[in-house]
A and B are shown apart, each in its own frame.
Chain A
């Protein structure tokens, strides 16, 4: 298409009508010439014209056809010319970038960091918050909430009352022990109703779903396997369907496999720490009402709305049902009716983290702005340096548009390469971070970029390109370029407007960095004060081992015997000091909470009973974890199965029930009807997490509240992790079929409960450091340029008697005003935005003056260093050298 340019601009930009005229003219010319020739052969004019037309064929058809073709050729030509010029621009820009490798590396690095951080963050935000749930029409899925503890009958009433839902199911989590298919193992099960499959519009890939009659306890001994479990434990053999397997728990010792879920089915509400391996039918005992049912229901209720129904309609149904139940029974608190309702399933899953994630995305926005400002700075300095070159080109006939276009191409090239590098960086960072493990965020297992991430990456790139690319290009070519060519032009140094833009950018960078550094500082301070919180127990050198003996095999007193024997044997291991057990691992998020009525307290009128956390422990538990006994005694051999029921309460509950009085000897009734005597009071422990205030708690001895699954705490004198293998073999020596669910240091469980905090802390601290670095580089760049352009001035002043120090002072002072203004603006901005971090702060206010001060000091120091180094370099020049530097 090289010919395109030869034909000139007019030919290229022929309009439609011009094309039509040209075609008509060509055809007319042909017909006239042929007519003339025929007339010379002796025909009359009319005869000749007719013959010419006949030979020619259909003129109208041809005219239309040629117009279409010419227009197409025209378009192609235009694209070709545009492409040609672009290639030329790219070639020139590439050459010019390669000539200045220092600048190019700095620019690409800045961009890659900015875009990389933004893309990585957005990938996570997208995965957690934006990506729809992997079910059919996920917007129609809602989670119902009664606004309080609820029992199965209340759940049933809610389900029955929700007329806006086409299907609704309870979903509970349960642990079942599988034996006879490889090593004994505890599996995670979702306890669901037959409607589960309709709610999530899923059908087992093999076999069938639950039938209505499998709600009944007697016929509920069926199970649907996950695809992963089916392959891992049953070799993917379809004949397993119809077979009974040894699956102990939730009322049955064995179950018939009736189906296998499709491989791509993601279990809803799955906790990454407890993967779902199977589904079993939810059963309930008949003949109960909301008022008499004492089975506390810790499940979720999820439903599918009819098409066109709003979440608010479903919420109204729930509130109406709760209102009706409250009229019948005191089991519903007044508050609960107000707090009951429904939320979109996705909303309910990510509501905790959503705000945090958007805050982080906001922070990353600041990083991108900083990177853009930095780049604008670099380009501005480069532009000033290139004024001479550009002036020469303008003098040689380059139009301003053409030169701007070339500079923009240069920025575009940088942006494109920076974006590619940034996306690669984001991928690497996300892979290295192992986000799911390190953050505990839901839905982060799959972080592959989708169209939305791609669009975001393009958007960020274009946005920053606009910010950093256009301004310097316009600046570089602004005004009259010709003076730049005149003799001694360098002496005049940087233009005043150029200096002003530089100052503005320094100010903006300092302000942005101030906000980020303050945020990071607040989080670091929070984390430190959180780590210094006393959990109330000694978590060091403790191995936590969860064992799950079959609840039918080890029912009732046999469970006590098993744990007694296990504790006795483990205590004899070398280096093991004390062994105790509790039924829920602290810091793991699991909780049992029971309503109670304390003696001497009147039952609440028109309200449900208060509730307290409930834990079953062995006698040595408090000793093993050094939990302080405040009053009375710990559990001991007196507390036998058929002895007087006893319990221990924590300080919070004692203070709440009997402030300033002795709690020992009092009686508390669980559920209002099952009494025990308080024999001791222990200190509060933060077993729900370091950042959660202790709640009222009740402990009962294992001998009197018998459970099969317990977590043993081994207080040891050596590395707890090294002990794990030994512990497993001891468990196996007692019973091969008892699975060890997990064995890990208690400290690790504590750390994991802080994972999300640590993750956000790490992310924002990284942003803070990047901000400091970018800010420093930016200031350094501008100051270097400003100082270098004043070398001549410095020379003059030193020749006139100014000292090194005077000159140095004046060079550094140039940076003071913008840095100071930036710090002030940044402090104000930090003050206004740090409230967004509220959810992550602990022990520090969002406006902690010490932290704001420290951040300002650090930033000021970095800024001072970044402006002092170049200032010193250029003020040390010999006066005569400086004066000759033209």
Chain B
């Protein structure tokens, strides 16, 4: 399943809400959380990260990875956290609305 436009940014922010992560970690985490149902191309992921960085929603720092390699870690900034809260609730409302429309169809089927 391809990603609906605009959802990738929110997924990344949600992922980083736990802890700072490197790009591979984020990719892995999304893959695991969605059981591979969402297909995220890694190149798009990195572009999205830079986009978020430019908008000051995430910040990047070099750190050391779990296997002792130098890796670029991304963390949520305070404005990133605010954006996540706001967008998540918007998404929930949106999704709920879409479900309400779809419900009868599913029951009928």
Contact = CB atoms under 8 A, between A and B. Distances in A.
Contact of A56 (B43, B51, B54): B43
Contact of B28 (A3, A37, A58, A65): A37
A27 B27 CA distance: 12
18 contacts: A7-B61, A25-B72, A26-B22, A26-B72, A29-B24, A29-B70, A29-B72, A30-B23, A30-B27, A56-B43, A57-B43, A57-B44, A59-B43, A61-B43, A62-B47, A66-B50, A69-B50, A72-B54
Given A69-B54, A73-B54, A57 B42 contact: yes
B53 interface: yes
Contacts of B53: 69, 73
B42 A29 contact: no
B28 A62 contact: no
Given A57-B44, A59-B43, 5 more contacts: A29-B24, A29-B69, A66-B50, A69-B51, A69-B54
A494 to B, nearest CB: 51
Contacts of A72: 54
A29 B65 contact: yes
A58 B54 contact: no
Nearest to B53: A73
Contacts of B28: 37
Contact of A65 (B23, B24, B47, B62): B47
Interface string B55-80: 01001011001000111100001000
Contacts of B50: 65-66, 69-70, 73
A33 interface: yes
A104 to B, nearest CB: 38
Contacts of A27: 46
Most chain A CB within a 10 A radius of its CB, from B47, B50, B61 = B50
A58 B43 contact: yes
Contact of A3 (B43, B46, B59): B59
Nearest to A53: B42
B35 interface: no
Interface string A49-60: 000000111110
Interface string B9-29: 000000000000011100110
Interface of B: 22-24, 27-28, 41-44, 46-47, 50-51, 53-54, 56, 59, 61-62, 65, 69-72, 77
B23 A3 contact: no
Contact of A26 (B23, B43, B54): B23
Contacts of A76: 54
A66 B65 contact: no
A76 B54 CA distance: 9
B77 to A, nearest CB: 7
Contact of A30 (B24, B47, B59, B70): B24
B52 to A, nearest CB: 11
A512 B41 CA distance: 75
A546 B41 CA distance: 94
A34 B24 contact: yes
A29 B22 CA distance: 10
Nearest to B54: A73
B60 to A, nearest CB: 9
Given A29-B71, A62-B47, A55 B42 contact: yes
Contacts of A70: 50
Nearest to A37: B28
A73 B58 CA distance: 12
A70 B41 CA distance: 20
A876 B51 CA distance: 72
A60 B72 CA distance: 19
Interface residues of A, number: 26
Contacts of B70: 25, 29
Nearest to B51: A69
A56 to B, nearest CB: 4
A57 B41 contact: yes
Nearest to A56: B42
Contacts of B22: 26, 29-30
A72 B50 CA distance: 11
Contact of B24 (A7, A33, A62, A69): A33
A35 to B, nearest CB: 11
Interface in A16-74: 22, 25-27, 29-30, 33-34, 37, 55-59, 61-62, 65-66, 69-70, 72-73
Contacts of A29: 22-24, 65, 69-72
A73 B104 CA distance: 49
B24 A55 contact: no
A76 B56 CA distance: 11
B54 A66 contact: no
A70 B60 CA distance: 11
Nearest to B40: A55
Given A3-B59, A7-B61, A55 B41 contact: yes
A61 B47 CA distance: 11
Nearest to B62: A22
Interface in A766-822: none
A1 interface: yes
A65 B53 CA distance: 14
Contacts of B42: 30, 34, 55-57
A58 B71 CA distance: 21
Contacts of B72: 22, 25-26, 29
Contacts of B62: 22
Contacts of A61: 43
A76 B50 CA distance: 14
A12 to B, nearest CB: 13
Contacts of A7: 61
Nearest to A65: B47
A41 to B, nearest CB: 12
Contacts of B47: 62, 65-66, 69
Contact of B71 (A3, A26, A34): A26
A37 B24 CA distance: 11
A27 to B, nearest CB: 8
Contact of A62 (B46, B59, B65): B46
B41 A56 contact: yes
Interface in A486-515: none
Nearest to A52: B42
A1 B44 contact: no
Interface string A733-756: 000000000000000000000000
A851 to B, nearest CB: 69
A614 B77 CA distance: 92
Contacts of A69: 47, 50-51, 53-54
A131 B56 CA distance: 49
B23 to A, nearest CB: 5
Q: Which of A29, A30, A59, A65 has the most CB of B within 10 A?
A: A30
A1 B56 CA distance: 7
A468 to B, nearest CB: 40
A73 B53 CA distance: 8
Contact of A66 (B27, B44, B46, B69): B46
A1 B59 CA distance: 10
A22 B61 CA distance: 11
Interface in A70-86: 70, 72-73, 76
Contacts of A26: 22-23, 46, 71-72
